[in-house]
Amino acid sequence: MLATTPRADSVPKLCGADFELGNLVLGVELPKGTGALASHLLLREFAGVPLARKAAVVCQCTPCTARRNALTFGYSNSPHLGEECERSQSDKNALSWYNPQDWSRKFLSANGSCAYIDLDHLELCLPEVRSARDHVAATHAMLRLARAALESANARMRAGVKIVALANNSDGQGHSYGSHLNFLITRRAWNDLFERRLHNLLFLAAYQASSIVFTGQGKVGSENNRPPVDYQISQRADYFEVIQGAQTTYNRPIVNSRNEALCGSWRHMQDQPSLAKLARLHVIFFDQTLCQVAGFLKVGVMQILLAMIESECVRSDLLLEDAVEAVRCWSHDPTLHARAALTSGRQLTAVELQLEFFEAARAFVESGACDGIVPEANFILKLWGDTLEKLSARDFAALSPRLDWVLKWQLLERVRTQRSELSWGSPQIRHLDFMFSSLQDGLYWACERQGAVETIVSNEQIGAFCAAPPEDTRAWTRSQLLRLAQPEQVERMDWDSITFSLPRDGSYWPREVTVNLANPLGYTKAECACIFERSASLEEALELLGASTDPPLAISASNQIIQVRN
């Protein structure tokens, strides 16, 4: 008999997310392409607090100088903008502030989110949320902020030059970029997934592989040396090559094993042993979705599945014989007839396997096992079941308002019907594929304006997340502290801590005060609003939050900007 009750140590399935945009500049030609220029011009429009102010080592090599100039002065035609730091190339141990996967990160005081450049793509990170509904609102809020940045940046461009930003996962030229989710789970559950219970890992891989039927954005053609196909369900499917691994940009795994909790340092865990029991599951599998129902199910059903795994409610009869091959097979058949083998020898379609997961999840949810763990679990279950029923019936007309891949497929088929000379390989069709997710004039947004997509959240809820953080996670206190501080007072920060530079009595050198935000479920408005109401200054708020003052330091490289010249 499978367990249907939560473990005593189960935790709410808090969710974070980050996604990269496809970005380019039309009307400009550069040797390394225009992605670097586009991402720098977009990031320049975000008003935010840098990840680290003084501790950064300022490299004066030509590529780093070109990057700083693009962020500071705007448009640049430097051919070196897309190149790597010369110093880091020549000396891998050299100090440099250049990290191609985390360049010039800014935290936004408006809503507790952040933005930065990852391999020449603008990357947007959502504030932590507890519910799938808030995830949808926060996602569309960040896309609105990105659209505003795009419009502002384009207003600065000369005639004939235009920045384009796409909320997709593939450039059609063999390059894929990420759309990641992060879920709070127990350390025990993480260890079971990657170190102790292989069937838990394979259970999760089988769920994710079959979930593309409602989480895919859809894509014209194939990539990464996969067999040719006219249209497929998932943008990421062609890029998965192994079951699990910590890597994210090569040999991509279905289940990612990055072990970074973002719940404080070891010192914090010693002071608060409960923090050591928390872990973060980093999920790189899913496509970026724009349809609200797809985004809601993508997060909500994962929350339920992770609660099941945490409670050891795992069905070992649902494991795939080859999950990597199953993803490709299912993705390449939008008619939903393709079958893949389970370890038992059964051959199932992706929808049939999802129905098996649904039945297991229904018993778990109906037992009350998700109470206090997954918000709106019953509604998630109802919407998931109804969507699977429509997928089973192949009722694509009813599914197009809910699912990105179906909506895009229907739009492209309509064009091909009207223009019989166009094939799936025609440049016009491939162009429309990209235009589906364009932030400025995309087909998805046109459908949304016409009421052709189902909504989960209102425009007002999305607008609220543009200007305010979630009230029930640590993002609320992060945002309040950044609003209270002057930009020059923020020394460095991460998701789980912020260090401020404050005056020191009787000394020229400032003191560093660090506030611990290690508990992602803490520091909520309910807990901390009274602190900010009682505080007349940043110093008072930090004192009431229990911030610690670092001991005085001698003059060193850690508190001055170092000029590095080649």
pLDDT tens column, 486-516? 988 999 999 999 999 998 887 778 899 999 9
Percent of the chain with pLDDT over 90: 79
CA angle 249, 200, 13 (to 5 degrees): 75
- Does 245 lie in the same domain as 386? yes
pLDDT above 80: residue 63: no
Same domain? For 356 and 489 the reply is no
Residue 445 maps to a domain: no
Do 370 and 497 belong to one domain?
Answer: no
pLDDT at 98: 54
Residue 118 falls in the annotated catalytic set: yes
Residue 32: the pLDDT is 85
Whose tokens are 């998700």? That residue is: 370
Q: Highest mean pLDDT range out of 65-74, 81-90, 95-104, 397-406?
A: 397-406
pLDDT of residue 504: 84
- Residue 443 belongs to a domain: no
SS3 125: strand
The pLDDT tens digits for 298-348 are 999 999 999 999 999 999 999 999 999 999 999 999 999 999 999 999 999
Closest C-alpha to 57, from 499, 553, 564: 564
pLDDT at 103: 67
Q: Residue 264: what pLDDT?
A: 85
Q: Which residue has the higher pLDDT, 268 or 543?
A: 543
CA distances (Å), origin 43, targets 23, 146, 406, 423? 11, 9, 32, 37
Would 455 be classed as within a structural domain?
A: no
Same domain, 279 and 169: yes
At which of 390, 416, 439 does a domain end?
390
What is the per-residue pLDDT for 5? 62
Which region among 232-241, 322-331, 492-501, 548-557 has the lowest average model confidence (pLDDT)?
A: 548-557
Asked which of 355, 390, 425 is the last residue of a domain, the reply is 390
Does a structural domain hold residue 426? Answer: no
240/236 Cα distance (integer angstroms): 7
Same domain for 478 and 384? Answer: no
DSSP bridge pairs for 242: 253
| 477 belongs to a structural domain | yes
The tally of domains found in the chain comes to 2
**Alpha carbon 22 to chain centroid distance?**
14
- Give the pLDDT confidence score for residue 65 in this predicted structure: 73
Per residue in 26-35, pLDDT tens? 999 988 899 9
pLDDT average, residue stretch 471-492: 95
Identify whether 432 is part of a domain. Answer: no
Q: Which of 18, 91, 102, 118 is an active site residue?
A: 118
Average confidence (pLDDT) over 74-89: 65
- Looking at the fold, whether 29 and 155 belong to one and the same domain comes out as yes
Q: Identify the three-state secondary structure at position 501.
A: strand
pLDDT at res. 56: 47
Of how many residues is the chain composed? 566
Q: Both 524 and 386 in a single domain?
A: no
Both 275 and 386 in one domain: the answer is: yes
Residues 382 and 493 in one domain: no
Mean pLDDT of 198-217: 99
Q: Are residues 386 and 478 in the same domain?
A: no
Pairs from 91-100 (Cβ < 8 Å, separation ≥ 24): 94/564, 95/57, 95/562, 95/564, 96/57, 96/59, 96/64, 96/564, 97/56, 97/57, 97/58, 97/59, 97/64, 98/59, 98/63, 98/64, 98/67
Q: Is residue 317 part of a domain?
A: yes
% helix / strand / coil in the chain, to the nearest 5? 40, 15, 40
- Domain membership flag for residue 536: yes
What pLDDT does residue 557 have? 29
Tell me which of 390, 417, 433 is where a domain ends.
390
Residues 180, 19 contacting (CB under 8 angstroms): yes
pLDDT at residue 237 greater than cutoff 60: yes
Q: Are 30 and 21 in contact (CB under 8 A)?
A: no
Domain that holds residue 538: 470-559
First to last CA, the chain: 67
Look over the chain and give the mean of its residue pLDDT values, rounded to a whole number: 91
Do 208 and 119 belong to one domain?
yes
Domain containing residue 239: CATH number = 3.30.590
Q: Are residues 100 and 226 in the same domain?
A: yes
As a whole number of angstroms, the distance between CA 28 and CA 37 comes to 10
- Whole-angstrom CA distances from 60 to 64, 71, 86, 97, 100 are 6, 15, 9, 10, 16
